[in-house]
Amino acid sequence: MVHKIRKQSGLTMSQRNVALITGSTDGLGRAVARKLALAGTAVLIHGRSRERGERLVSEIRADGGTATFYEADFASLAAVRALAQAVQRDHTQLHLLINNAGIGTGDRSAKRDTSADGYELRFAVNYLAGVLLTWSLLPLLVRSAPARIINVASVGQYPLDFDNLMLTRAYSGMRAYAQSKLAQIMFTFDLARELQGTGVTVNCLHPATYMDTTMVRAAGVTPVSAVEQGAEAVMQLAVAADFQAQTGLYFNGKQRDRAHAQAYDPEARRRLAALSLQLAGLGP
């Protein structure tokens, strides 16, 4: 289905938005997709399960909203490229990209696994796939400005060891997850600077602690926060007028916060950016 959304003066952002929310067939992404759809946004649902995706699309349409499902497994960079191509093919504008798809820490017995491209799985899915998707969709986002990019990170952050980035040594699911989330934050800061003056803002957040999601329960953790709490934090960055011009920031819930110190290290960010572009096939 092709959605052609025209910019019209006098309309609010939500009334004219097209939004892509990755990992939106379950948990936080699903809740955010429903909220955006109810606010009048044409939502592009992404996930690995066609059954769950089509069910959510049917629910949104039954409520009078507009939604389309795109299937892609972020453990494959080829699938990410195909998703970006499909979105560019089907849509003339994109006003909001929420990089939410991810894999949790797993339980204590979780073993190191790799993506289809041979990269440590959590680094590949939680971070590298979002980098590739974002860079691929940037021309569309810039043409659609004002536009926003939101990276769903975590308060759980672990410093990157560039000599062991794929965690072939000292692997743990927690470390893998936490370093991928810090990498997302570092990417946010760099991209925000890169996009200054384009009308596209880039922010990241820890939505809420241990929300009641499949990811949290799979880790053997008792949830302490409702999905609704995290969804409200994401929605603040997604649609609130106060955040239309703010960029390059990290939030803990609805409050601005400071990330791990490595996120503010220009040399670490430079090394990560160069390596990420190479791994994602975007650079030399």
Catalytic residue set:
177
Give the number of residues written for the chain: 284
Rounded CA gap, 79 and 102, in Å? Answer: 15
Residues 6+ apart with CB under 8 A from 60: 33, 34, 37, 43, 66, 67
Rounded CA gap, 242 and 83, in Å? Answer: 31
Rounded CA gap, 85 and 72, in Å? Answer: 12
Which tokens is 54 given? Answer: 């089509």
Rounded CA gap, 125 and 102, in Å? Answer: 6
Residues 6+ apart with CB under 8 A from 189: 248, 263, 264, 269
Burial 63-74 (b: 16+ CB within 10 A, else e): eebbbbbbbbbb
Rounded CA gap, 120 and 133, in Å? Answer: 18
Q: Where are the alpha helices (DSSP H) in 214-258?
A: 214-218, 227-239
